[in-house]
Amino acid sequence: MQLERSLGLAGFCALMVLAGACAKRATEESAPTNEEPAPASAAPAPVEKPAPVDTPPAPSAPPELAAPPDVAAPPADAKKTASGLATKVLKAGTGKDKPKPTDQVKVHYTGWTKDGKMFDSSIQRNEPTTFGVTQVIPGWTEGLQLMVVGEKRRMWIPGKLAYGDQPRMGAPAGDLTFDVELLEILSPPETPKDVAKPPADAKKTASGLAYKVLKKGNGKEHPTPQSRVTVHYTGWTTDGKMFDSSVTRGQPSSFMLGQVIKGWTEGLQLMVVGEKTRFWIPGELAYGDTPKRPGAPSGMLVFDVELIDFK
């Protein structure tokens, strides 16, 4: 589940429909034969008992995690912020830095309603969750910025900082209680100092694409428009605003080189595996000055691209 405001708890519905797997019952039917039935006086033929077969038990959903004794209301030693968020440190962390609004975080968490009913848990799924600090409910956005890596904190989040008293799509209503452990802070790449325009030592192609190699590669071959490339990248507008990054997501991107913006198609053909290059892509080689695609960045764009592999 990802606690996105626009969708409620993104994994919430899946958790609500967890069901134990049902064992299939096979029915056996006798096949017709051409043999005539034995006379009634005939002695019945001995029947061998089939060997016992070990049948594994059907898997069941993991048990719910018990609600804390103070799930209904924060205790006297909990700290409260001006917004109404109450928190209490359960385990001190080992880090020094706290997440910023631009960061992504990796966490383990469990959430309960005030009556002690668990509605979601990454611990139960045995899989941490990663998301942007500002991509979640306001109580999480505020509470996470109080934490350091390694810390485990209980948060009592008022309904107004969660999903409200009448949430949509089956999200939990009212005040919620979460135990959150901050595992990792994933900070975005630093904005380049030369983001506004290419420096004097940048090379420029006939199309207007400017580029500068930041790290030399170890490959010899270059991708073609028919290649499928795997890259890590970060993109900024010329005012230094980051609009996309595979680095902050922690997962490289793969795509056909001939199916991306013209500046990428041209620029990546200049690279070899292992190389990292900065590109200044004019608007006409990107999404244009007035992009047709909703939400696409306009004008000149700057990308740092590392070519990991291509086929």
Same domain flag for 73 and 178 = yes
User: Are 211 and 182 in the same domain?
Assistant: no
156 and 207 part of one domain:
no
pLDDT over 90 for what percent of the chain? 74
**pLDDT value of residue 25:** 33
Residues 257 and 36: their CA atoms lie apart, in Å, by 72
| List of E strands, the chain | 3-4, 8-9, 79-80, 86-91, 104-113, 118-121, 129-132, 152-157, 176-186, 203-204, 210-215, 228-237, 242-245, 253-256, 276-281, 301-310
pLDDT at 52: 52
Known catalytic membership, residue 279? no
Whether residue 103 is predicted with pLDDT greater than 80 in this model: the reply is yes
For residue 30, pLDDT over 50 is answered with no
CB atoms within 10 A of CB 232: 19
Q: What's the pLDDT score for residue 61?
A: 59
CATH code of the domain containing 122: 3.10.50.40
For residue range 247-283, list pLDDT tens digits in order. Answer: 888 789 999 999 999 999 999 999 999 999 999 999 9
- Give a yes or no: residue 129 inside a domain: yes
d(CA 41, CA 178) in angstroms, rounded, equals 76
Hey, which bits of 8-103 come out as E strands? Answer: 8-9, 79-80, 86-91
Residue 171 structural domain:
7-13+64-186
In a domain, 32, yes or no: no
Res. 24 pLDDT band, cuts 50 70 90: very low
Of the residues 145, 161, 186, the one at which a domain ends: 186
As separate numbers, helices (DSSP H) first and strands (DSSP E) second, the chain gives 5, 16
Q: Are strands 118-121 and 104-113 parallel, antiparallel or unpaired?
A: antiparallel
Residue 243 bears catalytic tag: yes
**Residue 56, in any domain of the structure:** no
Same domain flag for 69 and 182: yes
Q: Tell me the pLDDT tens digit for each residue of 193-249.
A: 999 999 999 999 999 999 999 999 999 999 999 999 999 999 999 999 999 999 888
Q: How far is CA 9 from the centre of its chain?
A: 13
Please count the structural domains in the chain.
2
**Together in a domain, 167 and 217:** no
Which pLDDT belongs to residue 276? 98
Q: What is the pLDDT of residues 61-87, one digit of tens each?
A: 567 899 999 999 999 999 999 999 999
135 lies in the same domain as 105: yes
179 and 133, same domain (yes or no): yes
Place of tokens 């890259």: 231
In a domain, 59, yes or no: no
Same domain, 107 and 68: yes
In a domain, 138, yes or no: yes
Bigger pLDDT: 2 vs 72 = 72
Is 211 assigned a catalytic role? no
Q: Which among 156, 53, 159, 48 is positioned nearest to 111, based on CA atoms?
A: 156
Q: Which of 12, 131, 211, 233 is catalytic?
A: 233
Model confidence over 37-56: pLDDT tens digits? 333 333 334 444 455 555 55
Q: Report which residue type is found at 18.
A: L
Quote the tokens at residue 32.
Answer: 């017709």
Position 49 scores a pLDDT of 46
Residues 172 and 265 occupy one common structural domain: no
pLDDT at res. 250: 78
Query: What pLDDT score does 56 carry?
Result: 56
The active-site residue out of 70, 194, 244, 309 is: 244
**Rounded alpha-carbon distances, angstroms, from residue 263 to 211, 219, 225:** 10, 21, 12
Taking Cα atoms as reference points, which of 134, 151, 164 lies closest to residue 2?
134
- Report the alpha-carbon distance of residue 19 to residue 211 in Å, rounded: 54
Catalytic status, residue 109: no
- CA neighbor of 299 nearest in space, from 195, 188, 192, 191: 195
Q: Is 54 a catalytic residue?
A: no
How far apart CA 240 and CA 236 sit, in angstroms, is 6
Q: Which residues of 82-108 are buried (b: 16+ CB within 10 A; e: fewer)?
A: eeebbbbbeeebeeeebbeeebbbbbb
Round the average pLDDT of the chain to a whole number and report it. Answer: 85
Q: Is 170 left (phi over 0), alpha (psi -120 to 50) or beta?
A: left
Given this model, what pLDDT does residue 185 score? 94
DSSP 268: H
Same domain assignment for residues 75 and 166: yes
**Catalytic residue of the set 97, 243, 255, 289:** 243
Point out the catalytic residue in the list 70, 123, 194, 261. 261
Catalytic residue among 303, 304, 308, 309: 303
Q: Is residue 42 part of a domain?
A: no
Is 119 among the catalytic positions? Answer: no
Q: Is residue 278 part of a domain?
A: yes
- Domain closes at, from 186, 215, 240: 186
pLDDT, tens only, 296-305 = 999 999 999 9
Residues 301 and 236 in one domain: yes
Residue 25 lies in a domain: no
What is the predicted pLDDT for the residue at 39? 33
In the set 12, 178, 287, 310, the catalytic residue is: 287
Pair (174, 216) in one structural domain: no
